[in-house]
Structure 1
Amino acid sequence: MTKDLKQTGLKSWLKPVKKLAATAAALCISVQSFALGDPEIEDLKFGFIKLTDMAPLAIALEKGYFEDEGLFVELEAQANWKVLLDRVITGELDGAHMLAGQPLAATIGYGTEAHIITPFSMDLNGNGITVSNDIWEQMKPHIAKRDDGKPVHPIKADALKPVVEEYKKQGKPFNMGMVFPVSTHNYELRYWLAAGGIHPGFYAPHKGDTSGQLQADALLSVTPPPQMPSTMEAGTIYGYCVGEPWNQQAVFKGIGVPVITDYEIWKNNPEKVFGITQEFAEKYPNTTVRLTKALIRAAKWLDANDNANRPEAVEILSKPYYVGADAEVIANSMTGTFEYEKGDKREIPDFNVFFRYNATYPYYSDAIWYLTQMRRWGQISEHKSDEWYFETAKKVYRPDIYQSAAEALIEDGEAQASEFPTFASETGFKGEQPDFIDGIVYDGSKPNAYLESLTIGLKADDSL
Structure 2
Amino acid sequence: MKKWLKPFKYAAIAACVSLGATAVQAEKLGYPEKEELKFGFIKLTDMAPIAIAYEKGYFEEEGLYVTIEAQANWKVLLNGVIDGSLDGAHMLAGQPIAATMGFGTKADIITPFSMDLNGNGITVSNEIWEQMKPHIPKMADGRPVHPIKADALKPVVEKYKSDGKPFNMGMVFPVSTHNYELRYWLAAGGIHPGYYAPHKGDISGQIDADALLSVTPPPQMPATLEAGTIYGYCVGEPWNQQAVFKGIGVPVVTDYEIWKDNPEKVFGITKQFAEKYPNTTIRLTRALIRAAKWLDENNNANRPAAVKILSQPNYVGADYDVIANSMTGTFEYEKGDKRDVPDFNVFFRHNATYPYYSDAIWYLTQMRRWGQISEDKSDDWYKDMAKKVYRPDIYEKAAQSLIEEGLMVSKDFPDFSTEDGYRDPQTHFIDNIVYDGTKPNEYINKFSIGLKQGQKL
* TM-score tier after normalising by the smaller chain length: over 0.9
Q: Which residue in 2 is equivalent to 1:134?
A: 127
Matching of residue 264 in structure 1 with residue 257 in structure 2: yes
Structure 2 counterparts to residues 6-405 of structure 1, below 5 A? 15-19=3-7, 36-405=29-398
State the Cα deviation string for residues 25-58 of structure 1 (Å, max 9, x = none).
xxxxxxxxx9621100100000000000000000
Matched residues in 1 for 2:349 and 2:2: separation? 34
Letter in 2 for 1:182: V
Q: Shift of the alpha carbon at 1:14?
A: 6.1
- Aligned to 1:229, the other structure's residue is in SS state helix
Q: Which residue in 2 is equivalent to 1:5?
A: none
Q: Shift of the alpha carbon at 1:272?
A: 0.1
Q: Shift of the alpha carbon at 1:148?
A: 0.3
Q: Which 5+ residue runs of structure 2 have no aligned equivalent?
A: 11-26
State the Cα deviation string for residues 194-244 of structure 1 (Å, max 9, x = none).
000000000000000000000000000000000000000000000000000
Shift of the 443–247 alpha-carbon distance from structure 1 to 2, 3 Å rule, reads same
- Aligned to 1:369, the other structure's residue is in SS state helix
Q: Shift of the alpha carbon at 1:455?
A: 1.0
State the Cα deviation string for residues 128-155 of structure 1 (Å, max 9, x = none).
0000000000000000000000000000
Q: Which residue in 2 is equivalent to 1:28?
A: none
Q: Shift of the alpha carbon at 1:21?
A: 11
State the Cα deviation string for residues 388-409 of structure 1 (Å, max 9, x = none).
0000000000000000000011
- Aligned to 1:298, the other structure's residue is in SS state helix
State the Cα deviation string for residues 276-329 of structure 1 (Å, max 9, x = none).
000000000000000000000000000000000000000000000000000000
Instruction: Give 1:439's match in structure 2, choosing from 423, 432, 442.
Output: 432
State the Cα deviation string for residues 175-196 of structure 1 (Å, max 9, x = none).
0000000000000000000000
Whether the 8 Å CA contact 1:126–1:261 is kept in 2: the answer is yes
Shift of the 385–328 alpha-carbon distance from structure 1 to 2, 3 Å rule, reads same
Matched residues in 2 for 1:94 and 1:187: separation? 27
Matched residues in 2 for 1:233 and 1:19: separation? 55
Matched residues in 2 for 1:17 and 1:90: separation? 29
Letter in 1 for 2:75: K
Matched residues in 1 for 2:33 and 2:363: separation? 33
Q: Shift of the alpha carbon at 1:412?
A: 1.3
State the Cα deviation string for residues 53-91 of structure 1 (Å, max 9, x = none).
000000000000000000000000000000000000000
- Aligned to 2:159, the other structure's residue is in SS state helix
Matched residues in 1 for 2:433 and 2:283: separation? 39
Q: Shift of the alpha carbon at 1:15?
A: 3.4
- Aligned to 2:252, the other structure's residue is in SS state strand
Matching of residue 419 in structure 1 with residue 412 in structure 2: yes
- Aligned to 1:227, the other structure's residue is in SS state helix
Whether the 8 Å CA contact 1:21–1:39 is kept in 2: the answer is no
Q: Shift of the alpha carbon at 1:16?
A: 3.9
Whether the 8 Å CA contact 1:20–1:40 is kept in 2: the answer is no
Q: Shift of the alpha carbon at 1:20?
A: 5.2
Letter in 1 for 2:7: K
TM-score, normalised relative to structure 2: 0.95
Matched residues in 2 for 1:116 and 1:459: separation? 28
TM-score, normalised relative to structure 1: 0.94
Matched residues in 2 for 1:220 and 1:329: separation? 26
Matched residues in 2 for 1:62 and 1:128: separation? 28
Q: Shift of the alpha carbon at 1:112?
A: 1.1
- Aligned to 2:29, the other structure's residue is in SS state coil
Matched residues in 2 for 1:172 and 1:398: separation? 46
Q: Shift of the alpha carbon at 1:118?
A: 0.1
Shift of the 391–293 alpha-carbon distance from structure 1 to 2, 3 Å rule, reads same
Q: Which residue in 1 is equivalent to 2:456?
A: 463
Q: Shift of the alpha carbon at 1:17?
A: 3.8
Q: Shift of the alpha carbon at 1:162?
A: 0.1
Whether the 8 Å CA contact 1:289–1:401 is kept in 2: the answer is yes
Matched residues in 2 for 1:354 and 1:310: separation? 11
Matched residues in 1 for 2:288 and 2:455: separation? 41
Identity %: 78
Q: Shift of the alpha carbon at 1:411?
A: 1.0
Matched residues in 2 for 1:431 and 1:64: separation? 35
Whether the 8 Å CA contact 2:328–2:342 is kept in 1: the answer is yes
Q: Which residue in 2 is equivalent to 1:8?
A: none
- Aligned to 1:75, the other structure's residue is in SS state strand
Whether the 8 Å CA contact 1:21–1:38 is kept in 2: the answer is no
Letter in 2 for 1:162: P
- Aligned to 1:453, the other structure's residue is in SS state coil
Letter in 2 for 1:138: Q
Q: Shift of the alpha carbon at 1:431?
A: 1.8
Letter in 2 for 1:271: E
Whether the 8 Å CA contact 1:21–1:40 is kept in 2: the answer is no
Q: Which residue in 2 is equivalent to 1:3?
A: none
Count the aligned residue pairs: 441
